[in-house]
Amino acid sequence: MEVKTWKEAWAEGPGPKSRIEYIVLMLKGFLMGIADLIPGVSGGTIAFITGIYEHLLDAIASVDKEFFKYLLKLDFKNALAKIHLRFIIPVFVGIATAMVSLARLMHYLMNDHPIPTWGMFFGLIAASIIVIWRQLNNHFAPKNMAMIIIGAAVAWVIVSLIPVSTPDDYWFIYLCGIIGITAMILPGISGSFLLLILGKYEYITGALKNPFAEGSLVLILVFLCGTATGLLGFSKILNYFMKNFRETTMAFLTGILIGSMKKVWPWKEVLETKIVRGKVRVLREANIFPDHYTTETTIAFALILVGFITVLVLESQSRKRTA
């Protein structure tokens, strides 16, 4: 449909229609941004929990050949009508706000209170497995069970990788952007964790914490170019599978979440470390159960329960709205 006014173009795509809906969608993006700051937790998982995952894939997929064709023709009204900008803006404003404003806080929580922090996210992801599992039509079909096992194995291997030392060149930062965003839109696979594996998590979050320091803005821009490339490419592939092979894809994502639980279990015993670029890196660690109870342990178990219940309540409310 050819649009005639900017107002028509803006209203053409899907997205929130009231101020409250804008705020709610931005808050969901904000929660995604918080998750993406944690090595081991995926923003895609939060998108799934909050019921915007498939809408997010559709919105990203709207940036296609037709959109760029309108841009090249300088037909900005129809370009605006084609892209799901009313959805994309509040989500990405929320993500960016969380990443910039909470980078310091998340560093503090991860370094000074890791067990309660991991506890909260363990509860969130554990309940997310149930949420995705419920969406399978035939839970115990051989194909679904096979995809769950494959997904779990893939995630288990990824979260078991060892951090490495890598170059600081811009081409590698660009590559990190592609890899990081590809993981971030997959529930269960943490983009932040892959950046940690690639040796660039602290380097990039350091730039986010001090965006006006020398070289930080250029670094952020290069990284964002990489994320845009990965987002536009991989999201279309994932969207295709969600549209055409939804049952199989959901089973695979269920497995991904199951395999990622190894990383987010709060209590760990370090088995081997190594100094890489002046930083102590954990090469091997084992999940353990706390052998004695402290206030921190009690808080962690309470947060596991809070995270678990929160997800199930959100999913229940989402199903009621859908019904």
Mean pLDDT in the chain? 83
Q: For the chain, how many structural domains are there in total? A: 1
In three-state form (DSSP H/G/I as H, E/B as E, the rest C), the secondary structure along the chain is CCCCCHHHHHHHCCCCCCHHHHHHHHHHHHHHHHHHCCCCCCHHHHHHHCCCHHHHHHHHHCCCHHHHHHHHCCCHHHHHHHCCHHHHHHHHHHHHHHHHHHHHHHHHHHHHCHHHHHHHHHHHHHHHHHHHHHCCCCCCCHHHHHHHHHHHHHHHHHHCCCCCCCCCCHHHHHHHHHHHHHHHCCCCCCHHHHHHHCCCHHHHHHHHHCCCCCCHHHHHHHHHHHHHHHHHHHHHHHHHHHHHCHHHHHHHHHHHHHHHHHHHCCCEEEEEEEEECCEEEEEEEEECCCCCCCHHHHHHHHHHHHHHHHHHHHHHHHHHHHC
* pLDDT tens per residue, range 3-44: 567 787 787 778 888 889 899 999 999 988 888 877 667 788
pLDDT over 90 at 230, yes or no: no
Does the model's pTM come out above 0.95?
A: no
Q: What is the pLDDT of residues 144-182, one digit of tens each?
A: 999 999 999 988 888 787 766 778 889 999 999 998 888
236 domain residue, yes or no = yes
Residue 143 has pLDDT above 70, yes or no: yes
Please report whether residue 162 resides in a domain: yes
Supply the range of the domain harboring residue 230. 16-322
In a domain? residue 222: yes
Does residue 207 lie in a domain region? yes
